[in-house]
Chains A and B, each alone.
Chain A
């Protein structure tokens, strides 16, 4: 196969890519080495400086290489170079251009590149401001890049029988990874098409969520690198000032990334919520919690000198947990416990190495330096800000530990099974309940602490003075919080005392931080970012109570509350038949129609809110949709649509469709299972089926069936049926018809969906009325122009000729001699003119039959005798007299005009969104504030 010279391949992409990867790897290694030597020889300033410059230079080369690789890979995807496996696997012709970016980071390789891209961007800013910490900080950057590049190295090292595979190169050719007979064809590229992007990921969320999340991921390296540098240089103070804005930025970016993910889950995916404690979600939440804890002790140690050791610990752990989450989501270890991890790629060992390296290096150095990190001799004052902030950080650590242990259960199972193959894996029975149960108490503590601690001072300064104010405010806050919570309970149900506690604490957190913002706004408004973030946090948690605990399904009757109703009673879904309104929870819901837009089918669901006197007070439409697979073979996913109000959301999602609409295969099965039973009936006969009384009214040769008339048939037949539906008390007509065109039969069956009945005409009927030519009994007639003859009660007269005749069955060719005879048919009641044609083509005579559907005459112009000036015709009539109708009737047909719908009200869900957004704004404002402060003190 190697000897084939393939057509149309663009091998330069792979060559450039391969070169960029190798050089990118080597330059990262060299950069790490230079920065290492520079840090090691920091006493010798000139030597350290030149090594540093060398390290910087090779990191620039590294960055250039990675960006080159990204560019060529993107170019190849943009141009559909299917000879490359990565392009083939993620792009297709029908993929809209706007999703090329999404396709780029859909795969593991692309997302590693995205991660490295952000590291490179961040390094530009870090190098500028790192000062004396540049060498050790950039050493960490270079090592991280080195290990991540190794994931896409794509090198195979022979090892005994097998080969060790290091990384997976995204610019590998398709024919290098696949062995298929098609590659024997030199022109295989013209034959293949790409697989394209998973239809679930074809939306704008996939364009914005990954880059923001990866920016968050990438930015956690900065606090880690600074902490590492501080430990290495044994300078436990200097780096604190330089890095706080980075930590705040990182927390803001990572938080926003997570939030975009949950927003995506809520508004665009059918998850029916914004947080599910899925392992993938937890894996990115834990580093965020740790970095938040880190920021708090960071501020403590900057202001009081306490908690220095914990700053190191939290920042080191935050990045380590990012790497651990990478391991969880990319190694396939989560298996069946997560709904949305990456697909496995065989990188487990490398991923373990990545996590282990930074864990050993980071924590190892931390333990080595532990004794040298000095804390003040005296313990913190009890009424000091630093003490309670430290307690808050410990609670966050507690939360992160709990989440990590529970989420790591699959890892634990795997390790146990390694030592004892008979070990049975443990699973959490109800993850959502498990996590909520513990984390809600964390939230209680955090909400209360975030309110109280703001009013304490560092070092407990002036406590004697402060004390009176503090204890004056506290009861006011508490009573206001209880009052607000009580007022809220009129619209929001708190169900159990635990939720009352959570409710009061979060309101307390909001009230106290709000007061802090008001109080400080006049003097130190820049400083109120912390209170804003705390306020947002409490508001977000309150939002989870209102929207999560109080969600109400319109598509059912009982309120949803797991502790009150057993789960099986909670019928979330309802069947909605097209055009039949359903009344539930004060809403009249109607499935109006559906329409296909690209690959999405949109279902128009009308909601009418009725008041007590059944008047419509509100009327709106929602359009949940279903997305088909790229080849339309089946429905791939359902997406919801949500009506947003200030105080609530109405969320709807189609969760299922009739089987015949779910996939082509099912549709075929349903079609095959339909059994038609033939019935022979005379005109005016009546029969009963499934509550329908059907009377055969008449036979028509000019069908009115609208589907029939969308075609141009040569001839057809229709039976008009009078139907009386005894169940629905309705009367109407049905028009089953049959037509033929180019020797093909077209059936126009008539469904009665409500009764599950389908009626079509028996094919024999057509034969009876449109007898095939060879079974026809033709009679010969020969007359002169202007003469006439009589046959079966009809008078036929020849009224001249058409020298350029046209007929649907006659395609004129050059050299044809054609003559049409204008023959009128008349029986005193009916009058019709037909035009049979006589043709001589290539000296061969032939005739084109004319058919009169009204009378049933088949007429051929069979001969011309030029000498006698006579013209011969062959005429036959089909069996009109037999007034029998043959109907094929099927019953028990599953109806397919409905959707299974979920409609849920999320009360006050905006508390959750606004709260979390305020928290992010608080963090980012903090980053800005600290950055400005750093600039001005320099």
Chain B
């Protein structure tokens, strides 16, 4: 058996092994129902705007509470273990990474999709002619 054949075989086997082991690193976005007893997951949803948000930087600067409406329409409380992100209220979509614990989703990371800042923005006028 030639050496290059051995090398290619080793590489292919290693590749398959990595592929199989890495396949558990990926998953679809979960919803709250699937997140229960399921370890660390990513949930995609929108901010439940009619529910209260709580951020008390004086006492718990590392905790921000809000309610998330997942894609199935289930609303659950999320505790983000970070300060409240900027422009949070403006988010169109929220992806949180974390775990479900006692009906509360403990999130360690957050990604927000915000409306593009400069899109469809009206042409800004100089300050003194705002009456026009």
Contact = CB atoms under 8 A, between A and B. Distances in A.
B83 A195 contact: no
B108 to A, nearest CB: 4
B26 A379 contact: no
B102 to A, nearest CB: 13
B81 A379 contact: no
Interface residues of B, number: 46
Nearest to B85: A656
Interface of B: 2-4, 7, 11, 14-15, 18, 22, 25-29, 40-42, 55, 57-58, 61-62, 81-84, 86, 93, 95, 97, 106, 108, 111, 113, 116-119, 121-126, 129, 132
Interface stretch (A245-253, A423-431, A477-485, A798-806): A423-431
A572 B57 CA distance: 13
Given A178-B123, A192-B126, A900-B57, A573 B83 contact: yes
A438 B61 contact: no
Q: How many A residues touch the partner, as a band?
A: 35 or more
25 contacts: A89-B118, A182-B132, A192-B123, A198-B117, A336-B95, A343-B116, A343-B119, A380-B3, A394-B7, A394-B11, A398-B11, A402-B22, A406-B22, A409-B26, A426-B27, A427-B28, A428-B26, A429-B41, A430-B25, A571-B62, A572-B62, A575-B57, A575-B61, A658-B57, A895-B58
Contact of B106 (A191, A427, A568): A568
A898 interface: yes
B3 A379 contact: yes
Nearest to B122: A180
A305 interface: no
Given A426-B28, A898-B57, A195 B118 contact: yes
B8 to A, nearest CB: 9
Contacts of B27: 426-427, 429
Contact of B81 (A337, A398, A568, A635): A568
B74 to A, nearest CB: 17
Contact of B22 (A343, A438, A634): A438
Contacts of B81: 567-568, 570-571
Contacts of B42: 427, 429
Contacts, number: 112
A195 B124 CA distance: 8
A573 B123 contact: no
A402 B18 contact: yes
Interface string A882-919: 00000000000011001010000000000000000000
Contacts of B55: 659
Given A391-B7, A575-B57, 13 more contacts: A178-B123, A193-B124, A193-B125, A335-B113, A336-B113, A343-B118, A379-B2, A394-B7, A398-B14, A427-B27, A430-B97, A568-B106, A895-B58
Contacts of B119: 343
**Closest A-B pairs by Cβ, 3 of them:** A656-B83, A424-B28, A567-B108
A858 B95 CA distance: 68
B91 to A, nearest CB: 11
A424 B34 CA distance: 14
Contacts of A406: 22
Nearest to B3: A379
B61 to A, nearest CB: 4
Interface in A355-411: 379-380, 382, 391, 394, 398, 401-402, 406, 409
A429 B40 contact: yes
Interface of A: 89, 174, 178, 180, 182, 191-193, 195, 198, 335-337, 343-344, 379-380, 382, 391, 394, 398, 401-402, 406, 409, 424-430, 433-434, 438, 567-568, 570-575, 634-635, 655-656, 658-659, 662, 894-895, 898, 900
B112 to A, nearest CB: 8
Contacts of B118: 89, 195, 343
A573 B82 contact: yes
A69 to B, nearest CB: 23
A414 to B, nearest CB: 14
Contacts of B86: 634-635, 662
A425 B123 contact: no
A860 to B, nearest CB: 41
B28 A656 contact: no
A191 B132 contact: yes
A434 B22 contact: yes
A379 B1 CA distance: 12
Most buried by A among B2, B57, B113: B57
Contacts of B15: 398, 401
A182 B123 contact: yes
Contacts of A425: 28-29
A182 B40 contact: no
Nearest to A756: B58
A570 B26 CA distance: 24
A862 B84 CA distance: 65
Nearest to B41: A429
A160 B116 CA distance: 30
A191 B125 contact: yes
A344 B22 CA distance: 30
Nearest to B119: A343
A733 to B, nearest CB: 26
Nearest to A185: B132
A394 B15 CA distance: 12
